[in-house]
Structure formats: C-alpha cells, structure tokens
Chain A
Amino acid sequence: NSKVIQTPRYLVKGQGQKAKMRCIPEKGHPVVFWYQQNKNNEFKFLINFQNQEVLQQIDMTEKRFSAECPSNSPCSLEIQSSEAGDSALYLCASTETNTEVFFGKGTRLTVV
C-alpha cells in the first residue's frame, strides 16, 4: 500500500483565496509529482521535483501556483488566488526510480 500522505483530504476556499495542500512522499523517494485530476477524471501534470529542485512545471503552475519540496518537511502546493476552475482532486505522487509511481489519496479542492 502507498505511504504517500496528503493533507487535508478536503479543502473549501472562496474565489481569490489562497489554497494550500501538503504531501509527505514515501520515505526515501527523491522524486515528487503533483497532478490535477479534473471532474472528467483526466490527469494534468503540474510540477515535479527531484531532491527539492524543480525538474519540470507547466506554465500555469509557474504563474499561479507556489510549490516547494524542502528537505525534512512536507512538500506543498499552494494556489495563490483560487479560481472556480481550480476545483479538482490534487494528487501527489513519489518515486524512487521511474518504474513505479506511488500516489496519495489526494486533496479535493472546491472553490466556491
């Protein structure tokens, strides 16, 4: 069973508010990912880290999100100013190699 822990499980924010979610990757996994799963269940890659450094991120993440993965602390993903379209399940995942990715259960964000 996956040991990727995401908190909170549910988050409700008003439009324009900050929304922050956290992820503790599986112990010893140097690579961490964030995906957005929309209401159509499609996965959208947001950002990934290797040993605290950003590997890749999409434009939206660079402009509207703040993400970090400090050593000895949970990783975090924060939307600076929430929009209705940000309502989704945010999945964190980690891996030791590229042969299997372990997911958390996600944080379900609702922007009202």
Chain B
Amino acid sequence: GDSVTQTEGLVTLTEGLPVMLNCTYQSTYSPFLFWYVQHLNEAPKLLLKSFTDNKRPEHQGFHATLHKSSSSFHLQKSSAQLSDSALYYCALDTGNYKYVFGAGTRLKVIA
C-alpha cells in the first residue's frame, strides 16, 4: 500500500542554520505530495504541494523538490527562524481522497 516515511522524529536547530526535513514515499500511482505544518494548538495547514517531477514549489521561505526517481520530497529552508518551530508532516494523495501522512517531524529552533 501507499506509505510515507519521515525518518527524523525531532530536529533541533540553531536559528539561522539551514533546515532539511526528509520525506520519502511509496505509491503504486503517481501521487500528489504535500507538506503540512502544525503549530502548537493550531490546525495543520498546507505549506507546499507538488505533482510535477523536479518542480520546486516555494512558500514562506520553504521549498521542496519532488524527485520521482528517488521517491523523495524533502523540505528545505536556507535559514531557520524561531517561528518555524512546529510539527511538519509529509503526506501523499493518490487521487482517491485518502491522504496518507508520515509520522511527522518536530522542528525545534533555538536562539
């Protein structure tokens, strides 16, 4: 079946350093890939999405490139900010309205 793997449970970074959160997936079909962000006591909300191979969507300084050859959709940002501290979820949808989420990565940015 479809699955999403996020290898890091917790990433702690000093402000100003680059961010990279890993996401790989398995899917029989060619899925949409998403990154959602959930701040404390808030609803998860969409950060980025992609369907196109090697395209790099960007939002709020974050970007992710979908690489179908390696089934990856890693999230990156050049310089972490304190306000980036949150839970980040990679997810996929194969088109049948059943989104599969990864286990999530908690990003903690410290001063």
State the interface size on chain A (CB cutoff 8 A): 25
Instruction: Specify which of A33, A41, A45, A103 is in contact with B43 (CB 8 Å cutoff).
Output: A103
With A41-B87, A41-B104, A41-B106: A2-B97 Cβ-Cβ less than 8 Å: no
How many Å lie between the Cα of A101 and that of B32 in the bound state? 12
**Inter-chain contact B95/A45, CB cutoff 8 Å:** no
- A112 contacts the other chain (CB 8 A): no
State the interface size on chain B (CB cutoff 8 A): 23
Residue on B with the closest CB to A48?
B97
Instruction: Specify which of B34, B46, B103 is in contact with A42 (CB 8 Å cutoff).
Output: B103
**Inter-chain contact B43/A104, CB cutoff 8 Å:** yes
- B62 contacts the other chain (CB 8 A): no
Report chain A residues within 8 Å CB of B93: 98
How many Å lie between the Cα of A105 and that of B34 in the bound state? 19
Residue on A with the closest CB to B100?
A45
For chain A, residues 42 to 73, give those with C-beta under 8 angstroms from any C-beta of chain B: 42-43, 45, 48, 50, 55-56
Residue on B with the closest CB to A42?
B103
- A82 contacts the other chain (CB 8 A): no
- A31 contacts the other chain (CB 8 A): yes
Report chain B residues within 8 Å CB of A42: 101, 103-104
**Inter-chain contact B43/A99, CB cutoff 8 Å:** no
Q: How far is the CB of B39 from chain A (nearest CB, A)?
A: 11
**Inter-chain contact B49/A100, CB cutoff 8 Å:** yes
**Inter-chain contact A105/B42, CB cutoff 8 Å:** yes
How many Å lie between the Cα of A43 and that of B91 in the bound state? 10
